[in-house]
Amino acid sequence: MRSAMKSSRICIVASLFACFFPATTTVAQTENVRQMVLTIDDLPYHASGHPDTIAQANRVTDRLLSTLTEYQAPATAFVNESNLLINGEADARTRLLRKWAESGVILGNHTYSHADLNQSSVELFQREIIDGESITLEVMLSRPRYQRYFRYPYSHTGDTAEKKARIARFLKERGYRIAPYTIDSQDYVFNRIYLDARQSENVELAEQIRLAYVEFVVAATVFAETISSRVFGDEIPQILIVHANQINADALAEVLARLVQRGYLFVDLTKAMQHPAYKTEDRLVTSYGPSWLWRWSYSMELDISFRGDPEPPNWILDLYEESVSVDD
């Protein structure tokens, strides 16, 4: 009630015209709307060094899908088919993929075993691509006409010009488009320590990590908006990368709510990539995995500073280092 009163008062103060002709304002807002694509990696479930149980994988899947439905957010999700074999639960884990497909999510290829192109020969990586598509294509049979997408693990697109060109050509011949990203949620950092905190029943810490994650994704989004304007003269449809993990099961809805507040509309990858920015060639040859905004800036020979690219808070990074070092 209070918000209705408040908004009607703002309406009178702001513009009587807009209040009487709401359709006019709706059109203007639609033209100015920001576009965001959700991409979700490492299906069916990413356990971040914690036990990978089918029960948890099921819960995470259901919550992610209900968030996507709630926000009417189309998504493209990338599968590592070797992970379907974990614990000998191939049928149950393939059923998870079917849930994604039935919810309208496009499933793409992320190689069979999350292969690192830096560490692979061209031939081995081609085998990973072929082996990584068999079950996914079968699950997607009910959607015979859709664009196939491929996402490079670690965003390693080729550490030599020859590898990069040969794999890109191979993907094109098999009907794949390469899925770029412009915003890295770095959720694997947050997720690991979030699971640590939950495991030790430190509810307060888990909640602090979850909230820090939401803030980080928003900060990374704001940075991508600024940089894309510098590279292309205007904002472009952004592509966010997250993983099928626990922290997104518990925080993605809040992330999406914040993005809606920033004026974002969720669109699918194919629509977003119709924007001219996505026709820009990626000519960067590197062993690192930077965002496509950086690749395009380099390829266009622009002298743009990426200073200010946000990192997770130090206390998050410290907890992560500590957690990883226990494994070593």
Q: Between residues 41 and 250, which has the closer beta carbon with respect to Zn ion? A: 41
Report the largest interatomic distance among the alpha carbons of the chain, rounded to a whole angstrom: 66
Binding window for Zn ion (CB under 5 A); candidates: 42-50, 68-76, 205-213, 219-227: 42-50
Q: Is the CB of residue 149 less than 8 Å from the CB of residue 76?
A: yes
Write the DSSP assignment of 96-137 as a string of letters: HHHHHHHTTPEEEE--SS---GGGS-HHHHHHHHHHTSHHHH
Minimum distance from residue 245 beta carbon to Zn ion (Å): 11
Q: Between residues 277 and 312, which has the closer beta carbon with respect to Zn ion? A: 312
Binding window for Zn ion (CB under 5 A); candidates: 39-47, 140-148, 163-171, 258-266: 39-47
Binding window for Zn ion (CB under 5 A); candidates: 147-155, 208-216, 226-234, 270-278: 147-155
Q: Is 187 in the site for Zn ion (CB under 5 A)?
A: no
Q: Is 41 in the site for Zn ion (CB under 5 A)?
A: yes
CB atoms within 10 A of CB 59: 14
Q: 10 forms bridges with which residues in the sheet? A: none
Q: Which residue has the closest beta carbon to Zn ion? A: 41
Q: Is 81 in the site for Zn ion (CB under 5 A)?
A: no
Q: Between residues 101 and 179, which has the closer beta carbon with respect to Zn ion? A: 179
Pick from 35, 36, 38, 42 the residue near Zn ion by CB under 5 A: 42
Nearest to 261 by CA among 64, 34, 12: 34
User: What is the spatial distance between Cα 257 and Cα 207, in angstroms, rounded to a whole number?
Assistant: 18
Minimum distance from residue 326 beta carbon to Zn ion (Å): 22
Minimum distance from residue 178 beta carbon to Zn ion (Å): 14
Alpha helices by DSSP H, the chain: 2-14, 16-20, 22-31, 54-70, 90-102, 122-131, 134-139, 161-173, 187-199, 203-232, 246-261, 269-272, 292-299, 314-327
Number of residues that bind Zn ion (CB under 5 A): 3
Q: Is 184 in the site for Zn ion (CB under 5 A)?
A: no
Binding window for Zn ion (CB under 5 A); candidates: 34-42, 116-124, 170-178, 316-324: 34-42
Q: Alpha-carbon torsion 132, 179, 33, 5, what sign? A: positive
Q: Is 128 in the site for Zn ion (CB under 5 A)?
A: no
Q: For binding to Zn ion (CB under 5 A), which residues are involved?
A: 41-42, 153
